[in-house]
Amino acid sequence: MKIGLVLEGLHRSENELVHELFMVSERHKVDHEIYHLARDLAGWSRQHVREIAAIGKQYGKDLDPGPPGESSLMEKIREKGSEMMGRQGEAGLLLLRDLREVYVKASGVSADWEMLAQAAQGIKHRDLLDVAQRCHAQTLRQIKWANGKLKESSTQILVS
């Protein structure tokens, strides 16, 4: 069975999404909606990492249940730069790039959850299916948030 490999990849991808969402929140701290929502969405992925680690044991995988923390020294410096720069000029383009990156990473995570759910149905593993369905629903909401913010922000940023 290759489910353990998918769990490892999903664990890595969710950790990367946590990191990306924290980076977005720190880089765009002056935009309170971005800051707070990105942190909330990162919290969902942090919980996903814990759930993947827990279920991974059933497939012989010893995965770290502790997702990455919020801020390192360099991230604090970036956050301060964001405060100083505000949302002028290149900050808008950076926001679009960041939202696109969240969208792409979350879409990859979504595909992994979908594969896992299909495998869980195939082997009739209810616990794995429950985790996959619950976490996938939240990942879809992360995608919708990033896509919605891209739609909302693109015109103003790109034509100004």
In the chain, where the domains are located: 3-159
Q: Which CATH code of 3.90.1580.10, 2.60.40.740, 1.20.1260.10, 1.10.3720.10 fits the domain covering 3-159?
A: 1.20.1260.10
Average pLDDT estimate for 21-41: 95
Q: Model confidence at 90, in pLDDT bands (50, 70, 90)?
A: confident
Residue 75 has pLDDT above 60, yes or no: no
Average pLDDT estimate for 98-113: 98
Q: Model confidence at 87, in pLDDT bands (50, 70, 90)?
A: very low
Cα 60 versus chain centre, distance = 25
pLDDT at residue number 144: 98
Encoding tokens for residue 45?
């992925």
pLDDT at residue number 160: 82
* Cα(52)–Cα(125) distance, integer angstroms: 14
- Tens of pLDDT along 149-159? 999 999 989 99
pLDDT at residue number 41: 98
